[in-house]
A and B are shown apart, each in its own frame.
Chain A
Amino acid sequence: MTAGPADAPLHRLGALAVRDRIASGAVTAEAAARHFLDRIAARDGAIRAFLQVDGEGALRAAAEIDARRARGEPPRALEGVPVALKDNLHADGLRTTCGSRILEGFVAPRDATVTARLRAAGAVIVGKTNLDEFAMGSSTENSAFGPTRNPWDPARVPGGSSGGSAAAVAAGLVPLAFGSDTGGSIRQPAALCGVVGLKPTYGRVSRSGLVAFGSSLDQVGPVARTVRDAAAALHAIAGRDPLDATSLGVDPPAPEAAAVSVAGLRIGVVREHLEHASLEPGVKAAVGRALEALRAAGAETREVSLPHSGEGIAVYYLVATSEASSNLARYDGVKYGLRAGADGDLASLVEETRDRGFGAEVKRRILLGTFALSAGYADAYYGRALRVRRLIARDFERAFKTVDAVVGPTSPTTAFPVGAKAADPLAMYLCDVFSVPAPLAGIPAISVPCGRDGAGLPVGFQVQAPALREDLAFRVAAAVEAACGEPDRLPEAFA
């Protein structure tokens, strides 16, 4: 689906619709960039999705694109599309803060591979979006630079950790943004903000230039207004990268895959998820309507069981924190970023830098992960988590023998009020209950809007597919979008 009629303003359009207008000459890349930069300047104050806006760089890139067009060069996949990056992805010469004091002042020495590929596809980088510090959180309240608000209700959170990217797309400040997903950090904010969010298969997209959180889980993916935009974005960024040894050399699906009908597909509904105690009735109802729509489109739905998915949160918070405790050891005040305690000895340099530089949630996870890997405990915690992780992956393998995709709610709730869970880490962690199994299994998962709850807040529908079968996830998500989505709708305050 392409968002927006021909005469709609640019900010109601999806990425491909913006691209088509630029490619056809209806609007210049520079005018498109100015339009979105003006919107950010005028409206971001209400939600604070952006940490950094690079107007000068964006206009320079847009002018170059217009010059290309003048020279008669053919338009590329994302020609002129203004794009925002979560602030844990490097863009050469821009700051990468990860929402943390400890990286204050750190300027990326080069583009992330994703960023370079986006530029090569014609995208225009307009800025960096807010996130939970080091992508650790589910509400974007853990940013050292203040929280981002949900454009549908600024009293509520946008979800997280890619809350800035999701809020920016939902508010029409950019037609396309990128986030990172470790346990749901793209899909959950996409669900809470009413936009599409894709976590690709592990290895589909290079992690080079993405600041690591949980290295065996992290994947970069798009936040978009439509499923087809997400598919086009994946196509632009996917593929083998010599700078990331875990990246895979398998071609991504063509964006057109999203247009193939779901008729005849077998779709598994996870019993454990639809009966989960934390599932809000409004979410359950919207997901039920989406399932109804899939059946109406010719798909067959059947129950599947993921018996170990109940252990997902425990496993995730051991694996991700263990890896994070190691990944975040490099922030020691020696080489870059914040330096504190330099008057004392080595221990005081490291301790004071990390004490002042990291926020409470990051410290909590470093401590958790350090403990889980410690001698005498590693087997009971980290080792057992790895074993159960394999069981979770096997649950999916078994399910995919009988169904083409496994679906359910992305998040048990819609957007919750700012501060509601800030003091209760465990409640916050449970936001990820449906989203952690896919990264633990390394499989792709997409969240697509499937309507609203009683309060008018967006509900996300999650489609999980076998490894490297994003095409199946796109087809199912596109069918839900066609029946239940409203991709050209903007929150009233951002119309």
Chain B
Amino acid sequence: MTGAAARLVVGVEVHCQLSTRTKAFCACPVSFGAEPNSLVCPVCLGHPGALPALNRGALEAAIRGGLALGASVAPRGRTQWDRKNYFYPDLPKGYQITQYAHPVCEGGEVRLSDGTVVRVRRAHLEEDTGKSSHAGDGETLVDFNRCGTPLLEVVTEPIDPATPERVEEYLRLLQERLRLAGASEAAMEKGQMRCEPNVSLARADGSSTGISELKNLNSFAAVREAVAHEAARLAGGPWHPPGAAVPRATFGWDDAGKRTVLQRTKETAADYRYFPEPDLPVLPAESIAPLVARAREALARAEAARDRASGAAREDATLLGLDAAQADALLVRDLTGGRFRGAAAAAAAAGIPEGEAGPALAAWFLGPLAGWVNARGGDWNAFVPSAAEVAAALALQRGRRATPQVVKEHLLLGEWPGAGGDPGAVLSAKGLLGGAAGEDAVRAACAEVFAANGDIVAKIRAGKTAAKAALVGQVMKRTRGTADPARVGAILDELLRG
């Protein structure tokens, strides 16, 4: 049998960290990267005698998130909490407070660009666990800071038929809607959005493969690659006849090796002994109605603002000469937190035409500058250069006082001068600014390279013109990137004509 006729079936569970200042059931602040065990109290440490008290802000954020997916809030008249019981060192109470029988949100859907509708089964509020790290010497260290952080778990019905791209698009849209609703920042690299696809293959005759639960996926690309990899692996079987119980197994994703790695098989279903959490009262639907109304209003305001912004963004995109993808990322979704717009305005103020500055700055902000930010934790708030500095760097490049290579290496990906500094002065201090004096140096470098590489010169003259790139590269290296590659090419051509 071949897997050709098999459909890929993927259900997705996503844990999103809700945007709240404090934890779900105590007053400890929620924060990323704090000193281990510094954001804890008797409640989130599970001390004897400590009781949970619901953070209404977390509930409201969960409701906003659910509404953004088109879900119904407490459709069966109430929502309530349950205890999920299991032992693990980073679970301080020996149980997790979650919602089992009566999730806060049920239903909803996300429509993909190809018309596929991903149906949302439920979205519920639960608390996060702590973090265990296993030291090399066999010790296990536990950081309880994350304990009690409010999470929204969003569970879909199986996407059938699925593709890796559909799964990725669903997750991107989910992220976008949760961000729009102010429910979650959903930054995957910070663990604020943890995706677990359940992957299997099914055939028209009802037979299917086992189900693989994929974990440790830290980027959209990883999700797409892991689903594709697992689908290919499962196609090799074994296949189970219609109606048979299928085995489940958990796989991690090895991003470097681009392969899924078996973590554990599930011989028996874990028994979590769910029961209603007696420490938290049941919330009848009418008791949360004011919260739901407020969440609806907030969501409607956010959607209206987005629509206004996207209208304005379309106009700006035309003016700035951006393509659709650039406009979406930089103007509509505004990934840089307004920094692209700021730099474009500064460039216009410096006299650079918008139609020229727009595409150049867009390439910078989506390329090297995004790299600069990602290398420092991925938060655009950590981006120090001012709009004027970015515009000044563009002016240096545009005026050919610095080559694109120098700008990229020493400014965009390198050390910015710091607040109020002058990028030109930085390059000048390093001797990296081109100019009239530079022409002699470039000519000298070209002549040296030309003389030292007789074999390459011979090849080029014999018709292998592509080899010229090697000569250009050597000149660029010799001039530490200060030469204009176009000028170098022209000088080399002169020498070749000799």
> Interface residues, chain A, CB within 8 Å of chain B?
89-90, 96, 98, 103, 106, 108-110, 112, 207-212, 215-216, 242-246, 322-323, 325-326, 328-332, 334-336, 346, 350, 370, 373-375, 378, 382
Contact = CB atoms under 8 A, between A and B. Distances in A.
A208 B273 contact: no
B92 A330 contact: yes
Interface stretch (B39-47, B200-208, B374-382, B448-456): B39-47
16 contacts: A96-B49, A98-B48, A109-B42, A207-B51, A209-B50, A216-B278, A242-B53, A243-B51, A245-B54, A323-B275, A326-B85, A326-B273, A326-B275, A330-B48, A336-B47, A375-B269
Interface in B161-209: none
B51 A244 contact: yes
B102 to A, nearest CB: 15
Contact of A245 (B47, B53, B140): B53
A359 B84 CA distance: 25
B480 to A, nearest CB: 56
Contacts of B48: 96, 98, 103, 106, 211-212, 330-331
A90 B279 CA distance: 18
B114 interface: no
Nearest to A376: B271
Contacts, number: 95
Max chain B C-beta neighbours (<10 A), residue from A212, A243, A378: A243
Given A215-B279, A329-B85, A332-B94, A374 B50 contact: no
A335 B45 contact: yes
A245 B49 contact: no
B49 A208 contact: yes
B93 interface: yes
Interface residues of B, number: 30
Given A246-B279, A373-B85, A330 B46 contact: yes
B89 interface: yes
A211 B48 CA distance: 5
B368 interface: no
Contacts of B273: 325-326, 370, 373-375, 378
A334 B87 CA distance: 11
B42 A245 contact: no
B275 A322 contact: yes
B142 interface: yes
B247 interface: no
Which 4 pairs of residues, A with B, have the shortest CB-CB distance? Answer: A329-B94, A215-B278, A216-B278, A373-B273
B82 to A, nearest CB: 10
Interface string B118-151: 0000000000000000000000101000000000
B461 to A, nearest CB: 72
A245 B271 contact: no
A246 B281 contact: yes
Max chain B C-beta neighbours (<10 A), residue from A96, A207, A331, A334: A334
A325 B51 CA distance: 16
Contacts of A110: 42
Nearest to A100: B48
A332 B87 contact: yes
B281 A245 contact: yes
Contacts of A373: 85, 273-275
Contacts of A96: 48-49
B15 interface: no
A364 B48 CA distance: 20
B228 interface: no
B46 A208 contact: no
A112 B47 CA distance: 12
B47 A109 contact: yes
B95 A244 contact: no
B401 interface: no
Contacts of B53: 242-245
Nearest to A90: B49
A245 B85 contact: no
B452 to A, nearest CB: 65
A332 B54 contact: no
B83 interface: yes
A484 to B, nearest CB: 37
B246 interface: no
B46 A350 contact: no
B280 interface: yes
B158 to A, nearest CB: 24
Contacts of A242: 53
A108 B49 CA distance: 9
Max chain A C-beta neighbours (<10 A), residue from B49, B54, B85, B142: B49
Contacts of B278: 215-216, 246, 323
B52 interface: yes
Contact of A382 (B51, B52, B92, B275): B275
A236 to B, nearest CB: 19
Given A245-B281, A335-B47, 18 more contacts: A108-B49, A208-B50, A209-B49, A211-B48, A212-B49, A212-B51, A216-B278, A246-B278, A322-B275, A330-B46, A330-B93, A332-B87, A336-B47, A350-B87, A373-B275, A374-B271, A375-B273, A378-B275
B487 to A, nearest CB: 66
Contacts of B269: 375
A309 B87 CA distance: 36
Nearest to B272: A375
B51 A245 contact: yes
Contacts of A245: 51-54, 279-281
Nearest to A371: B273
A330 B89 contact: no
B94 A326 contact: yes
Nearest to A386: B276
A341 to B, nearest CB: 13
Interface in B279-295: 279-281
A108 B50 CA distance: 11
A243 B271 CA distance: 30
A103 B49 CA distance: 12
Given A215-B278, A332-B94, A346 B140 contact: yes
A109 B46 CA distance: 12
Interface string B72-105: 0000000000010101010011110000000000
Contacts of A350: 87
A323 B275 CA distance: 9
Contacts of B85: 325-326, 329, 373
A108 B48 CA distance: 9
A346 B89 contact: yes
A175 B83 CA distance: 40
Given A245-B54, A374-B273, A329 B93 contact: yes
Nearest to A370: B273
A437 to B, nearest CB: 18
Interface in B3-54: 42, 45-54
B281 A329 contact: no
B218 to A, nearest CB: 26
Given A215-B279, A245-B281, A246-B281, A329 B87 contact: yes
A379 B421 CA distance: 71
B291 to A, nearest CB: 16
A323 B279 CA distance: 10
